[in-house]
Structure 1
Amino acid sequence: MLVMKDTLFGQEKVMRLQSLNYREQQRMQEVAASQAALRARYRTAGLVAGLVGLLVLAFILARHGRQEERARRALEQSLAELKTAQDQLVQREKMAFLGELTAGIAHELQNPLNFVKNFAEVSTELVDEINGDPQNPTRDTTLEREILDGLKQNLKQISQHGQRATSIIKGMLEHSRTGTSQRLPTDLNALIEESLRLAYQGLRTKEKNFTAELITQLDPALPPVSVVPQDLSRVLINLFTNAFHAVQQRQRQHDGTGGEYQPALTVSSRVVAGQVEISIRDNGTGMSEKIRAKVFQPFFTTKPVGEGTGLGLSMSHEIVTKGHGGTLAVQSREGEGTEFIIGLPA
């Protein structure tokens, strides 16, 4: 009996243990299934969130792209407008230079044309004299010879002044010529004198009462320098014109004060340390340190509105430095005067 009891109790324990193990396995399977379902939900939620994030990012990028496109178009339009305005100002500066040049050339042409006109009139009178009075058949051969000699001399003068007018027109065409900007061995002293004369006469054409003392200290041993003559002449005329405006402004300040002031401009040339140096010095109003620091900046000008574009000195600086590999420097003292120094490779 005891053995049977132990056997029955043992089997009952085994069955109870098996039942517990089965329920534990089911619970563990349920937990595992629940965790798997939870992970699946998390993955699904993550995928949905990622998809939503991608859609939001795509929307933001598309919107940003449209904004960038609009900004790019606005920037391109602004740059186009700025380029147009800059081209207009450059053209205006060129026209201002051409105006100064034309005024000087007109004055230069007037002199030989006046000589041609006067000699032509005198020659006409001499021809009338040599024809004589038709009522008087007697001829004075000595007088005729003198008249013919005078007529011949007049024709020589007409030819010389005609050649002078032709050379002036040729120079004008060279100044206005555009193209390859070929460098040529150039007599800088002659170019300086011609540019100074054109700038001075150009100003006097507009300001009849203006006079200034012109002092030239040009080195006669100056060697020919390879430059673009029309470009360097533009630089010189611009610097001369600015100097004349400076002395004219100082002269106006002295008018009525009783002080003695004589406008003067000094231009010199020399060879220094392997380069040719051209100095243009005036005794005008001068410049402050603040103005001197900005004088070569594009569009910077101290002239009243409508009288300057602010491109003259910047273009001159570019022609000398980039076009000829030289230097353009300025020295000035306010109330005393200004000096521009051009350095060119010899």
Structure 2
Amino acid sequence: MNWHDGESFIAIGIAATVIRYLRRFLETEKRLPGWDRYLKQTWLTGLILMALGEIFPDPWLIWYELIIIFSIVYTISQLYEFRPARTLLLAIGPYAFVLIFKDLLEHLAPKFYKANDDYVDSTSTFAIIWFLTFVVIAYNQKKSLAKAQLEHEKELEQRRIIEAKKNELEYLVAERTAEITRQKEELEQTVTELKATQNQLIQSEKMASLGELTAGIAHEIQNPLNFVNNFSEVSIELIDELTEEQAKSDRDHELEAELLTDLKQNLQKISHHGGRASSIVKGMLQHSRASTGQRELTDLNALADEYLRLAYHGLRAKDKAFNATLKTEFDTSLGEISMIPQDIGRVLLNLFTNAFYAVQQRQKKGEDAGYQPTVTISTRCANEEAVVTVSDNGTGIPEAVVQKIFQPFFTTKPTGEGTGLGLSLAYDIVTKGHGGTLEVASKEGEGTTFTITLPA
């Protein structure tokens, strides 16, 4: 091998280029820093072997190729978990085998090589195509991995931000907890005093919605009071006009009669609206009085109808825009039932209030064109039991929630709109207080039906 033989320098240049590409592609400077130092000196090994080739007759180029191939295989074996590295080995393997086989055949069997050089060249061409194809595949794999790594780093950064927020929230929670603990210590004395009246308070507030209903009816009282005030002011003006007319020397008797007629009508209206306000107050007092705990023969149909109207007008007092269809299907042969009317009234009031709330929420969503809120109450006698059914076509209750609907303090309403005690107390009143049953059937998005059975 001659020093001036261009093939030697070309071989060293190609090998150095391949190793350089391999180092950059596999990032050996970062992944294998110790081995990367030797890869940098591969070209020096070629020069040494080329110099030895001038002294010894053995072909130095084959040895150099073997060293290059060993370096590549060893490098990839160290990075076997790196998928593009395995693909690169698959690309280089056939090409390296053909290259070494070709050089060995050329030096060891030159006649056979010359006789079959076309086949060898074809094999070399196929090996080059194979090499380039899998190099492209490895490059695409590396791009995909780099993209995935970038996304992973973004995810880690997001996690870091979330962790920082979490730590900040934990600090705020700890700070808030300390404040709550301090407030708790301040309230302990008050809690001790309230425990003595706790049972009485729960009993008197069996319906969590009763307070809201009372507030709504109180707003309803404002309407007749406004009429009373307005007609009173107008009546005072009429009396002033009448007094002025009577003081005149030429009195207009027709005008006086007209003023007296207007005054009489105003007084009648004042009396009418005053009576209306009085009836509302009496109704409030009657429905909010404490239970006596004594059973009475009660007309269940009348009781149900009364509380249905009360619940509806209570909601209307708070939401003037709300309207609903009330359907009653009473069994007139039911007769009077032995019950505690105040307690059963509270149960019915809770069911009605929940039904109106459900249809109101569905109406607010506005998802169904032509939707008409409807609440239905029906009674019947079956198997010596009085059966009361309260149905609505409101939002319905999810199946997972139905199993927990009678648990204390469980509510599907937003915070501040329900205590979670209404249905729990209603269930206890019906089952424990009256030996009956309270069941619920619901389909989300279609409506809910509560069924009460009482011994008749």
TM-score by length of 2: 0.49
CA distance in 1, matches of 2:416, 2:256: 61
How far off its partner does 1:106 sit? 1.2
1:317, CA displacement in angstroms? 1.4
Is residue 2:389 matched to residue 1:279? yes
Residues 87-127 of structure 1, C-alpha deviations (whole Å, 9 max, x = no match): 59958965843422212321331233233234333433443
Q: CA offset at residue 281 of structure 1?
A: 0.9
Residue equivalent to 2:375: 265
Match of 2:427 among 301, 306, 317: 317
**SS of structure 2 residue aligned to 1:313:** helix
Distance 2:262 2:336 in 1: 41
Q: Aligned runs of 1:143-292 on 2, under 5 Å? A: 144-145=256-257, 147-178=259-290, 180-219=292-331, 223-253=335-365, 255=366, 257=367, 259-292=369-402
Whether the aligned pair in 2 keeps the contact of 1:174 and 1:230 (CA below 8 Å) is no
Q: Letter of the 2:440 partner, please give it.
A: V
C-alpha distance in 2 between matches for 1:232 and 1:331: 20
Aligned to 2:218: 106
SS of structure 2 residue aligned to 1:182: coil
SS in structure 2 opposite 1:296? Answer: coil
Alpha-carbon distance between aligned partners in 2 of 1:188 and 1:130, rounded to the nearest angstrom: 54
Residue number in structure 2 paired with 1:119: 231
Tell me how far apart the structure 2 counterparts of residues 258 and 283 of structure 1 sit (CA, whole Å). Answer: 12
Please state whether the residue corresponding to 2:245 is helix, strand or coil: coil
Q: Distance in 1 between matches of 2:223 and 2:338?
A: 31
Deviation, 1:246, is 1.8
Change in CA separation of 1:342 and 1:145 when aligned onto 2, cut-off 3 Å? farther
Q: Do 1:216 and 1:267's aligned partners in 2 also have CA atoms closer than 8 Å?
A: yes
* Distance change in 2, residues 1:262/1:269 (3 Å): same
Higher relative contact order, structure no. (Cα contacts within 8 Å, ≥ 6 residues apart): 1
Give the 3-state SS of the residue equivalent to 1:133 in structure 2: helix
Which blocks of at least 5 consecutive residues in structure 1 are unaligned?
A: 1-79
1:342 partnered with 2:440: no
- Whole-Å separation in 1 of the counterparts to 2:333 and 2:226: 35
CA drift of 1:322 comes to 2.5
Q: Is the 8 A contact 1:93 1:311 kept in 2?
A: no
Q: State the AA in 2 paired with 1:123.
A: S
For residue 195 of structure 1, what is the amino acid of its counterpart? Y
Counterpart CA distance in 2 for 1:281 and 1:91 is: 26
2:297 touches 2:338 (CA, 8 Å); kept in 1?
A: yes
* Contact 1:246/1:285 (<8 A) preserved: yes
2:245 matches 1:130: no
Q: Is contact 1:104-1:198 (8 Å) kept?
A: no
Change (3 A) 1:170 1:186: farther
Cα deviation 1:236-284 (Å, max 9, x = unaligned) = 221112112222333344x3x5744222212233444544433211111
1:167-194, Cα deviation, whole Å (9 max, x unpaired):
3222322333336333444444443344
Task: Tell me, in whole angstroms, the C-alpha distance in 1 between the residues paired with 2:306 and 2:315.
Answer: 14
3-state SS of paired residue (2:209): helix
After superposition, the Cα gap between the structure-2 partners of 1:164 and 1:289, relative to the gap in structure 1 and judged at 3 Å, is same
Distance 1:197 1:104, change over 3 A: farther
Q: CA RMSD in A?
A: 3.7
- Provide, for residues 322-342 of structure 1, a one-character-per-residue CA deviation record: whole Å limited to 9, x for no partner: 323333222222221111122
How far apart are the structure 1 equivalents of 2:209 and 2:442?
24
The answer to whether the 8 Å contact 2:216/2:318 transfers is: no
Cα pair distance change 1:258/1:281, threshold 3 Å: closer
Aligned AA (2:271): S
Determine what percentage of the aligned residue pairs are the same residue. Answer: 60
What's the TM-score, normalizing by structure 1?
0.62
**How many residues of Structure 1 are paired with residues of Structure 2 in the alignment?**
263
String of CA shifts for 1:168-227, please: whole Å, max 9, x gaps: 222322333336333444444443344233333433444454333333344566634444
Q: Runs of 5+ in structure 2 lacking a partner? A: 1-190
How do 1:13-28 and structure 2 match up within 5 A? none
